Structure 1
Amino acid sequence: MYALFLVLNETEYLDDILTAFVEIGVKGATILDSQGMGSAILNNENSRDIIFGGLKSFLDSSKPYNKTIFTIIENEQLLNKAVRAVKDVIGDIYKPGAGLMFTVPVGKVYGIGKDE
């Protein structure tokens, strides 16, 4: 099993990603409202002094909040389909401001499926 995490800065793609997950067989996901460190620093009045010119102007133009989606995926084949689905919706995941996606192997899951 695997956990797939997606920090989605371009939140307008959320519904399309969830629809794609359903279509390929992902059984569920959790969506959290989240905020990046740079945005948190920028919005903290006590920390504004540490933001310098170019960085401040870059952060001012970025979206202050994002969505973090995570799901448990049963096998590598479905994981690869889910990653492909995200890339198909977002396009270039490496473009600045798109977001961040990563996977983590999962040993055991409790609360889903049958009790051991």
Structure 2
Amino acid sequence: MYLLISVINNEEILNELLTAWLDIGVTGATIVESMDSLQLISRNIPIFAGFRALTNGGNLYNKTLFAAIEDKTILDMAAKCLETLCNNTGKSSQGVYFVIPITAFKRLGQELDPEKRQEHLEKKIGKSL
């Protein structure tokens, strides 16, 4: 099992990325709004205002995605999808990603059989998978 962590500087690709990930089987990504340290410094400490030119093109926030992925093949497809979408923008500095092995993983709450889990997921996203 793996934890794919990606920081996306371009929010425009987020919907397409999440849709593509769902299609390949990444169903539990968590998204957190985050801020680059240079952005924070350039906005809050006047002497460092010149750093704004080095940051992600004026966007104050990034999106950090966390996805626990059980299968190496799905992990590879998710990473390739992320790389492709970022490269297709034609822009530099679209973000970063890295993978960490997970040594323990347990779902919290009442266990659902696979059929009920699928129904729950479909209800949550509002479509059939």
Q: TM-score, normalised by structure 1?
A: 0.82
1:60–1:73: structure 2 CA closer, same or farther, 3 Å change rule?
Answer: closer
AA in 1 matched with 2:86: I
When the two chains are superposed, the root-mean-square deviation of aligned CA atoms in Å is: 2.3
Give, in whole Å, the separation in 2 of the partners of 1:67 and 1:82.
Answer: 16
Which structure would you say has the larger RCO, counting Cα contacts within 8 Å and 6 or more residues apart? Answer: 1
Task: Indicate yes or no: 2:52 matched with 1:88.
Answer: no
AA in 2 matched with 1:48: P
Gapped regions of structure 1 (runs ≥ 5): none
Give, in whole Å, the separation in 2 of the partners of 1:69 and 1:25.
Answer: 15
Gapped regions of structure 2 (runs ≥ 5): 112-129
Contact 1:9/1:66 (8 A) holds in 2: yes
AA in 1 matched with 2:19: T
Counterpart of 1:48 in structure 2 is 46
Counterpart of 1:26 in structure 2 is 26
1:43–1:106: structure 2 CA closer, same or farther, 3 Å change rule?
Answer: same
AA in 2 matched with 1:19: T
Contact 2:5/2:99 (8 A) holds in 1: yes
Contact 2:56/2:93 (8 A) holds in 1: no
What SS does structure 1 have at the residue aligned with 2:59? Answer: coil
1:60–1:75: structure 2 CA closer, same or farther, 3 Å change rule?
Answer: closer
Give, in whole Å, the separation in 2 of the partners of 1:32 and 1:98.
Answer: 16
Count of aligned pairs: 109
What SS does structure 1 have at the residue aligned with 2:19? Answer: helix
What SS does structure 2 have at the residue aligned with 1:72? Answer: strand
What do the CA deviations read for 1:7-39 (whole angstroms, capped 9, x no partner)?
000111000000010110112100001100000
Counterpart of 1:16 in structure 2 is 16
